[in-house]
Amino acid sequence: MSAGKSFWEMDELRLIVGAMVILGGATGILVVLPYLLLENVKPPAGLKPYTDQQWLGRQTYIANGCVYCHSQQPRDIKQAPDAKRGWGRASVAGDYAYDTPHLLGTMRTGPDLLNIGARQPSKDWHLGHLYQPRAYTPGSIMPSYPFLFEVRQGAAKAGETVVNLPPSFAKAGQVVVAKPEALALVDYLVSLDRTYPALPPLPVAVAPSAKEKP
Amino acid sequence: MDFTVSVLLGTFLLSIAALFIFIWSMSKGLFGDGVAAATEIFGKNELGTVEDPAATRTQMGGLQQAMGNVAERMTEEEEESRARADKSTSLVVGVCLTLAVVWLVLASLAGLISSIKLHAPDWLVQYEWLTFGRIRPIHLNLVAYGWCSLAGVGVAIWLIPRLLKTELVGAKYALIGGALWSIGVFAGTVAIGMGYSDGLEWLEYPWKIDILLVVGGALVGFPLWLTLLQRKVEHLYVSVWYIGAGLLWFPILFLIANWPGLHFGVQQATMNWWFGHNVLGLWFTPIGLAASYYFIPKVLGKPIHSYNLSLLGFWSLAFFYSQVGGHHLIGGPIPSWLVTISIVQSMMMAIPVFAVAVNQHMTVLGNFRALAYSPTLRFIVLGAMMYTAASIQGSLEALRAVNTVTHFTHYTIAHAHLGLYGFFSMVMFGSIYFIMPRVMNWEWPYPKLISLHFWLVLIGFAIYFIWLSIGGWLQGLAMLDENTTFMQSVAITLPYLEARSIGGGLMTLGHLVFAAHFFAMGWKFGPKRLGAALLSNSLLSRLTGKGVTA
């Protein structure tokens, strides 16, 4: 026991106080400071909030873990040729004003999707691609998502959305109908479009690199 | 001067200043307890005596011979108090480690399925819960919060009475905590499978389930503080510092990270990686290092190389590691000064890594023959080497030039496995081989299975790591070349992804061997070889006479 020892001689107290001070410091720098700096970032004029349907699609994106293969953060042309691939300009904090949870992602097993709606606005393409990616992109390793669709013999009912597959992938007499989750997900995907001009990400004093941007 | 550069310089100078203050305070005896603390884990006459309950009688003989013969033995009194200390933890440690092994098997299967799906994308696609985007986070969470955390908790609790030379106080809190924790892991896995994910990597469990892990995590730490009040040792051994800090840090990190409605947009991304990296640096790493700091000297019967260096390692790890998370967002839409701080601190990590490397490798140096005899040591020394490798690799990956290539590629996945598997899981395997004979009062029934486990996971992991690293690097280069189409960067990885599945398959096989052996011991299968694994023959007869079983 440490009875009779001064504060700094007590290992237990040194441990607790030291550990907490250090964790507090790190949390201050990496969590609290960004919170204070980004709290007042305004959404750019060109960015629209998600509609209910798009928001629902975003939940499907989250539920099926699209984020584990697709990033949503094009990098600056000085660092990587993302823009030349049609993925868009480097994103800024304001682009994510309506994005909670954030879906920045850490992998590019598939391409960046922050501007997929601008790049591929066809809902038909997206539905078919979700049903069978290899029908559209040979060599793709994206999973197919049959559980987002219903495959039936015969015709579709009124009000149902039929997936138009390329001829070699469509089976005669069979109809592929998109479930509501698939429709919502596609609505979300085509809404991903941050091609409007970016506002400076932060006050100039904090991010001087903004000065260099056009 | 450019703001980012001044932040860089400022952080660097501040870190150097902190380091000097630390060294000064250590020289004044404010932090360290000197060399005496290094021998705190041994009994009075125990130095020079080897210990490895996982070793057979022949191996023990060889091990002791490799380390030189001892003249004196521990007193009976000391042996008995050690046995009492071990026995005070046996129930809670047995429960935690059993759960951990179950999670390990499930996690391996989930990982293997994810791996195969990356090169067989139309395999098992009918079931929602098996889609890649669900089974992959199921794998990660089962590994992190199931296997690694519960194994870590089990090992930490078992170490506490040995480090403090007293019986464990308040084991029931840890038992309740471990149970809540496991219920949380189960519920979280089901939630991800059903599509109820919070959407953040490492933080997928819905926040209502996270409450179980925060409360459970706080409860498992309780016995440490209660036992500290009863401690019979003068100095706190370095493992106690690591375990104590880790048990404090985790619940706080997890609580802040999962607080509902608090985080938003890009700020949430910085928080995400503040957590994602700290759960490694301030939870798994401290527990893994605590275990290797105990078992390496304990098996060899000689104290660590430099005790002061070990404490320098502890404090500098806490200081630098806690600020490195931002390097996960290099090139992302976050303030550049934040990324810069994290890059600088990632470089400064060289200090704690050096401290641990010198200590652990120098202790083993010259005694490599011991590895041939001690199953425990084989796993733990390998783990310690992987820690050094993973840390150096991690620092390099934080450099902007390297990160530009490796970011967003499978290279990062390989690196993550070097840390959490190569280092942490290996150390846990070794620790479990040491601990379970004490917990069960029963030897490992089939020593050959320990070797089989070792070689399967070593070869499997070598294939996994080497091929995936190469594949990831090539993938990164392809993505940076604007004349290469994106699909080419996918095609280039395919053979490496297939190799990864083979490596992962061997690792999974190794885990099945390990789990089978673990449960064979639990049900007391195999030849009855009670004796060599226990403390001493005199004590054994008394313990078994009293009918002490697990």
Contacts of A31 in chain B (CB under 8 A): 256, 267, 270-271, 274
Closest CA to B285 of B252, B318, B329, B319: B318
Alpha helices in B399-446 (DSSP H): 400-406, 410-417, 426-440
Cross-chain CB nearest to B131 (options A64, A76, A102): A64
**Separate counts of helices (H) and strands (E) for chain B:** 22, 0
Q: What gap in Å lies between CA B242 and CA B292, rounded to an integer? A: 11
Q: What gap in Å lies between CA B74 and CA B542, rounded to an integer? A: 17
Reduced to 3 states, what is the DSSP secondary structure of residue B193? helix
pLDDT in tens, A127-149: 999 999 999 999 999 999 999 99
> What ipTM score was computed for the predicted complex, to two decimals?
0.91
- Asked if A100 lies within 8 A of B263 by C-beta distance, the reply is yes
Reduced to 3 states, what is the DSSP secondary structure of residue B110? helix
For chain B positions 476-505, those within 8 Å of chain A (CB to CB) are 479-482, 486-487, 489-491, 494, 497
Q: What pTM did the predictor assign? A: 0.92
Q: Which two tokens stand for residue B253?
A: 């990190």
Counting Cα atoms < 13 Å in the Cβ hemisphere of A140 gives: 17
B224 touches chain A (CB under 8 A): no
DSSP string, B279-331: HIIIIIHHHHHHHHHHHHHHHHTS--S-HHHHHHHHHHIIIIITT-GGGGGTT
Q: What gap in Å lies between CA A29 and CA B320, rounded to an integer? A: 12
pLDDT at B4: 66
Cβ atoms within 10 A of the Cβ of B541, count? 12
- Asked if B412 lies within 8 A of A106 by C-beta distance, the reply is yes
B30 touches chain A (CB under 8 A): yes
Top-level class of domain A52-191: mainly alpha
**What's the DSSP call for residue A162?**
B
Q: What gap in Å lies between CA B432 and CA B447, rounded to an integer? A: 14
Domain spans in chain A, listed from the N-terminal domain onward: 52-191
What is the distance in angstroms between the CA of the first residue and the CA of the last residue of chain B? 67
A147 touches chain B (CB under 8 A): yes
* Contacts of residue A133, Cβ cutoff 8 Å, sequence gap at least 6: A140, A142, A143, A144, B121
For chain B positions 362-421, those within 8 Å of chain A (CB to CB) are 404, 407-410, 412-413
Whether omega for the bond prior to residue B375 falls within 30 degrees of 0, making it cis, is no
Q: Output the CA–CA distances (angstroms, integers) from residue A7 to A11, A17, B162, in the order listed.
A: 9, 11, 25
Residue B325 in contact with residue B279, Cβ under 8 Å?
no
- Asked if A104 lies within 8 A of B315 by C-beta distance, the reply is no
Q: What gap in Å lies between CA B482 and CA B400, rounded to an integer? A: 19
Q: Determine which helix (DSSP H) or strand (DSSP E) holds B256, and give its type and residue range.
A: helix B238-258
Mean residue pLDDT of chain A comes to: 89
For chain B positions 82-111, those within 8 Å of chain A (CB to CB) are none
Query: A4 falls in which pLDDT band (50, 70, 90)?
Result: low
For chain B positions 273-292, those within 8 Å of chain A (CB to CB) are 273-274, 278, 282
Nearest Cα residue in chain B from A14 = B31
Read off φ and ψ for residue A107, nearest 5 degrees. -130, 150
Contacts of A93 in chain B (CB under 8 A): 265-266, 333-334
Cβ atoms within 10 A of the Cβ of B157, count? 28
Q: What gap in Å lies between CA B532 and CA B59, rounded to an integer? A: 10
- Residue by residue, pLDDT tens for chain B (550 residues) are 566 677 777 777 877 787 777 667 666 655 555 677 888 889 888 888 899 999 988 898 899 888 887 767 778 888 888 889 999 999 999 999 999 999 999 999 999 999 999 999 999 999 999 999 999 999 999 999 999 999 999 999 999 999 999 999 999 999 999 999 999 999 999 999 999 999 999 999 999 999 999 999 999 999 999 999 888 888 889 999 999 999 999 999 999 999 999 999 999 999 999 999 999 999 999 999 999 999 999 999 999 988 888 888 999 999 999 999 999 999 999 988 899 999 999 999 999 999 999 899 999 988 899 999 999 999 999 999 999 999 999 999 999 999 999 999 999 999 999 999 999 999 999 999 999 999 988 889 999 999 999 999 999 999 999 999 999 999 999 999 999 999 999 999 999 999 999 999 999 999 999 999 999 998 888 776 554 444 544 444 444 444 333 3
Closest CA to A49 of A58, A62, A60: A58
Q: What gap in Å lies between CA B420 and CA B426, rounded to an integer? A: 9
Region label for A100, one of left (φ > 0), alpha (ψ between -120 and 50) or beta (otherwise) = beta
Contacts of A143 in chain B (CB under 8 A): 117, 121-122, 125, 131-133
Read off φ and ψ for residue A158, nearest 5 degrees. -65, 140
- Across the strands, what pairs with A177? A150, A162
Contacts of A130 in chain B (CB under 8 A): none
For chain A positions 159-198, those within 8 Å of chain B (CB to CB) are none
Q: Which two tokens stand for residue A205?
A: 């004093």
Q: Which two tokens stand for residue B24?
A: 């000064």
Q: What gap in Å lies between CA B249 and CA A20, rounded to an integer? A: 8
